[in-house]
Amino acid sequence: MVDTVVSSLGVAHMTPMDQEAFLSLEEQNRKLRLLNRAGHILTSTHDMEVLLARFLQIAAQLLEAEGGSVWLWDKEDDQLLVCRSAFHSGVAVDLVGGTVAIGQGLVGWVAETGESDIVVETAGDNRFNQSFDIKNNFTTNSLLAVPLRLQGEVIGVLEVVNKIEGIFGAEDVTIAETLASSAAIAIDNARLVAQLQQNVTDLEQRNAELDDLRPYSCPRFAKPFVAGAGVCRFALL
């Protein structure tokens, strides 16, 4: 509160040009703080759906965009990306589960090249696919997409749409790439945890199956404790 008052008093005595530079610096510092906080938020959960939803909300806030989507490689086909999460302010979107082939649209282009890109006007870019807008009664004016990269490998793409004020620029790309780096690590961690949980579940199931088989087996390391009528039962040592 004190810092805010001091800053306000200081700005009041600045020239218009200095005020603009000061406010721009303040905004950059705010975004840096949000980026730092975002990294902690993303790594605090190992639930993939929750993680991706948070990722998109943070991306939309930092980039001042109307919404966005996250695309990850399909588990069965390494030539396809699947939309795993989507968020568009005030619009119910039907995009999750949809697929894009490598090289198709801006998402597919970014996945193929590993390069970030901006589409300032979708009408002038042949990579833009209108089918989503038509299906969801939505209007996409501009796009920004960056790769989700882990140890040099592209594991997916973040795409955000419609800058609320102005147009997407180089600073937005830098912010998106920084956020995408944190998200890629969090996604990998979530996958590792999910795999470990699956391994534990599989092991428990196998143990349960073995427990069911034990009364009917006669292992050599067991000794009989009841014999009669031609049937032997065993007690494990």
Q: Round to whole Å and give the CA distance between 167 and 170.
A: 10
Parent domain of 28 = 2-189
Q: Are residues 107 and 207 in the same domain?
A: no
Quick one: what percent of the chain has pLDDT higher than 70? Answer: 75
Q: Give the 3-state secondary structure of residue 92.
A: coil
Q: 24: pLDDT confidence band, cut at 50, 70 and 90?
A: low
Tell me: pLDDT of 181 over 90: yes
CATH number at residue 19: 3.30.450.40
187 CB-near residues (< 8 Å, 6+ apart)? 48, 51, 52, 72, 148, 150, 155, 156
pLDDT, residue 215, reads 62
Q: The dihedral of CA 182, 185, 187, 190: what is its sign?
A: negative
- β-partners of residue 65 are 163
Q: Indicate whether 160 pLDDT > 90.
A: yes
SS3 200: helix
Same domain, 226 and 177: no
What are the pLDDT digits (tens) for 126-154? Answer: 999 888 888 878 889 999 999 999 999 99
pLDDT tens profile 94-117: 889 999 999 999 999 999 999 999
Q: How many domains does the chain have?
A: 2
User: Residues 86, 64: one domain?
Assistant: yes
Rounded to an integer, the average pLDDT of 67-87 is 94
Residues 161 and 94 in one domain: yes
pTM over 0.95: no
pLDDT over threshold 50, residue 236: no
Q: What tens digit of pLDDT does each residue of 118-131 get?
A: 999 998 899 998 88
Whether residue 87 sits in one domain with residue 128: yes
Query: Do residue 149 and residue 126 come from a single domain?
Result: yes
